[in-house]
Each structure stands twice: as structure tokens, then as C-alpha cells.
Amino acid sequence: MADQKKRRRVGEKEPETLPFKSKLKPDSAILQIVKKLAEQEAAASTSTAKPLTLADLKLAQACREVSDLPLSSVQSRIEELVLSITHSIMSENGFSLTVPSRSAANQLYVPELDRIVLKDKTSIRPYANVSTVRKTAITTRIMQLIYQLCLKNIHVTKRDLFYTDVKLFQDQTQSDAVLDDVSCILGCTRSSLNVVAAEKGVVVGRLMFSDNGDMIDCTKMGMGGKAIPPNIDRVGDMSSDALFILLVEKDAAYMRLAEDRFYNRFPCIIVTAKGQPDVATRLFLRKMKMELKLPVLALVDSDPYGLKILSVYGCGSKNMSYDSSNLTTPDIKWLGIRPSDLDKYKIPEQCRLPMTEQDIKTGKDLLEEDFVKKNPGWVEELNLMVKSKQKAEIQALSSFGFQYLSEVYLPLKLQQQDWL
């Protein structure tokens, strides 16, 4: 096999020089630059000993946040709630639940924290009311099921939860929505409830961690990588000699980098959720960043959804804003593909795609978001995208050869410290 790999026919010309390849300095020089970034990151995370909290901003009363709780505390909180309900019923005040509102009007972007949080509006969910009786019953039933999970200390999916009482829940969207309500009511994260979503993410590169007691070495995971565990509470003992974390939007680019073992040339950890960020990957990324104190560089498509995905990792989603302190990874740097890269790297016209009306609208909506506005560089790029009406996927770089991404584009980006 070995000599077949290299076999070239007589007279076959060498592959033409890749555009911009001549600009690349030796790897050692690029490594120096990346090392400096990693040192800055480590210094920053030790100097600001404690990250800002809602309390520091005197927002602890005005906003609502949940936290990771051990199972025993979740159990106690359910017991306390049930006790208070019993008292209420016995003193003839009936049975009702106070549920934090998760509507759009109750969301707040806090620039100092650079994430979306939930404000303190709540609504009353009385049992003795024809419009809320069903939802109150569902909420109580979900709490009962969570209580069982606490006793058994096992993890289940939302789908499992739905199936324990199809007659009551009728439709999985109903049990899913109430599950988020229960997180808010009890003041704990959804992970604390031991309900997990299907895993999607994979990780490969210079990372060691334990998954449910097994030590995993992510440099020894071949091309497939290690599936990110659905339950973050069983992940621990993270260690790494990486200089940065490379967050990749899609799995085609991830695969290219894994096969080329990019992490050996530039020590890094490569992670992807294969599209939309799922809860498990978001928790895993945050845990890596926090424990290893590494900078995070993001490689996403040059379209509004790429930036949207970046913002969900960084600032959180509106749907789960109550848990943004646990789900978000601060200070993610936008490495590429940025709208300005399209001309800078001379991406051929035929590999760019025209933006649809919907794309342009999403782009303009993003320009109104506080978490975009606070970063002038991002605003500039997004303006360029909306103006040029062109988008491009990471894979568009393949037009210069399949390995252009790993051999030229990324090294040059690192060398030029070209992140925002």
C-alpha cells in the first residue's frame, strides 16, 4: 500500500501551487503566534479571578437563573414544593404553580455578561381553571417522573419521558415545553434533572477526559472521533496540551481536519455538533474552555446561520436563556469563513451562492441583536454579507483542492491572527 500511495506516473505534472500558499511562514513561526494567544487566554482567565454574575450587576432580583444541583437537592426541592402545595390545598387556597415566563418579552441580553438571560416575570398556573388544568397536571406529572429519576440516578431522553404517559402528554412538544418549565420552577439546569437530548457532537484531538469512569484519549480516536457524551455530569478529569479549541460548524470540515490530523501539526482540540448546537455539545465546549482555559476559534459557514450558530454557543438561545450561565462559552473568536474572506481568498464566483430573501432578512435581524452590535468587527462583516448578498459554505474552499482548508487556509488564518 505504502508505495501505491505515492505512486505518480512519469510525465505527470506536480499539482499547481495553491493560492496564498507562498504567504505561509514555517509552522514553528505560526506556532509561536498561537502560543501567544493561548498565554493571553490563560492570563486573562486567572486575572479575572471570578466571572461576573447577575449579583455583581445587581440583577439577581430582576433576573432568573438556574444552577447545577445534585440529585439530592432536586429531590428536596420537589418535596418542598409538594409540601407547600399540600398546605395550600389544606388551608383551602387550592392548588396552583408559579411558573417563570419563557416568552420573548421576558428575555434580556446583558452586555456585561455577553449572554441572554431570563427576566423575573412569572405566571400563575391554577389547577382549578379550565384553561390551565391540563398544563398543571402535566407539570405535576413531569415532576413526579423526575423524582423517580432522582431515586434511580439514571438518565433518560425527552422521548422516554413522553412515553411514560402518552395519554396525558398527547404530543411530545407538550412534555418537552413543560420540562423547561420544571427546570425554571425548581431553579436547576435540565442536566440536573437527568433528562438528556440525543447526542450529536464529536470531538477529536489533544484532549483526555473521563466518560462515565472510562479514560478517553482523543488523539487515539482515529478519524471517527469520540462521540460527546449526552450527560455532562459523568464527564470529568479533562486535561490537554492543546493551544486552542477549534469549533467547527459541520462534519465535512471536521472530517477533513480529523483525517489530516490537523491537531498534530497545530496542537488543538477539534469539536463539532454537526450543525445546530445541541445541549450536550454546548455543555462540553464550555467545560473544556473553563477547565483548560483555552481560546476558542470558530469555523462556520459564511452565512447568517453560521453567525447564528456561533452566537448560540457564545451567548445562548432564547429558548433556554434561563440556563445561559451554564450553556454559553464566553469569548469565542470568529476565525472564518468570514464574508470578507470571500474576496480575500478569491473564492471563485461559482462557489458563492446568492442569498435568498429569507437569508437577507435573517442577516438584517442579526444586525439588530445586541450580541452582534457589541462587536464592531462582526457588524462590519455582517453588513458586508447583507450588502454583497453572497454566502459560502466552508466546503467552498475545496474548489482550491480538498486539503486547502487544512494546508493553507487555517494555517494562514492563525499566522495572520485573523480572528474577530
17: amino acid identity, one letter: T
Is 249 annotated among the ligand-binding residues?
Answer: yes
308: amino acid identity, one letter: K
Residue 43 or 215 with smaller CB distance to a second copy: 215
| Structural contact between residues 124 and 98, judged by C-beta atoms closer than 8 angstroms | yes
Candidates 84-92, 164-172, 178-186, 304-312; binding stretch for a second copy (CB under 8 A): 164-172
Give yes or no for residue 260 binding a second copy (CB under 8 A): yes
Give yes or no for residue 212 binding a second copy (CB under 8 A): yes
| The only residue of 38, 41, 110, 162 in contact with a second copy, by rule CB under 8 A | 162
| Structural contact between residues 27 and 408, judged by C-beta atoms closer than 8 angstroms | no
Give yes or no for residue 51 binding a second copy (CB under 8 A): no
| The only residue of 31, 398, 418, 420 in contact with a second copy, by rule CB under 8 A | 398
Residue 300 or 382 with smaller CB distance to a second copy: 300
Candidates 293-301, 302-310, 317-325, 399-407; binding stretch for a second copy (CB under 8 A): 399-407
Is 301 annotated among the ligand-binding residues?
Answer: yes
Cell of 321: 436563556
Q: How far is the CB of 241 from a second copy (least distance, A)?
A: 17
Give yes or no for residue 351 binding a second copy (CB under 8 A): yes
Residue 175 or 321 with smaller CB distance to a second copy: 175
- Show the binding pattern over residues 77-116: x = contacts a second copy (CB under 8 A), - = does not: ----------------------------------------
Q: Among the options 109, 127, 147, 163, which is catalytic? A: 163
35: amino acid identity, one letter: K
Residue 60 or 154 with smaller CB distance to a second copy: 154
Give yes or no for residue 230 binding a second copy (CB under 8 A): yes
Positions 141 through 160 that interact with a second copy (CB under 8 A): 148-149, 151-157, 159-160
The distance from CA 102 to its chain's CA centroid, rounded to whole angstroms, is 20
163 counts as catalytic: yes
Give yes or no for residue 164 binding a second copy (CB under 8 A): yes
Give yes or no for residue 273 binding a second copy (CB under 8 A): no
Residue 54 or 203 with smaller CB distance to a second copy: 203
Interface contacts to a second copy, rule CB under 8 A: 1, 4-5, 7-8, 70-72, 75, 148-149, 151-157, 159-167, 196, 198-199, 202, 210-216, 219-231, 234, 251-252, 255-256, 259-260, 274, 350-351, 393, 395-399, 402-403
Q: Tell me the binding residues for Mg(2+).
A: 249, 301
